[in-house]
Amino acid sequence: GASCPTSDSDTTEMLGFKSIDKVTPGEVSDRFFMGQLTLVDVRSDEEFEEVRVPGVLHIPVTEIKGRLAEIPAGHPVAFLCRSGHRSSLAARMAARHRDDVMNVDGGMDAWLRAGLPSATCPVSHERSSNTPPMAPALAGRLNRQSEKE
């Protein structure tokens, strides 16, 4: 559209972080569990395996650029990492494509300190038969992980 000329895309990239709201884990938690917000965890597979927010969308920050399309557009999106640094990078990337982007201030550390819901059970679902089969790509990623044990 005419409203965003390509000539100054460098400037908007540099200034892009201005438009990303920092939100506290408490604010995000309320909205996320009420279904008003998409929460994306951008930590590594290992960190995600250790502890995570139940029902969160997991896209490691190294993959976020190619997987932005997986983030639903119907709700605002908040990015979460361990401390807030990687999630701010992910939020910045997403903010180039949408304007309803937030970064969870303090990350998973602050989330846990606030006593908000978290899950620590193993992510691999191979052993329980009542869960639907996962997408092969995801199962492959998890298998890679369990080989290390």
Q: Is 20 left (phi over 0), alpha (psi -120 to 50) or beta?
A: beta
Which residue out of 77, 81, 90, 101 is catalytically annotated? 81
Provide the token pair at 143: 């298998």
For the question of residue 81 being annotated catalytic, the response is yes
Q: Note whether 56 and 29 are within 8 A (CB).
A: no
**Distance between the two ends of the chain, CA-based, in angstroms?**
52
Catalytic positions are: 81
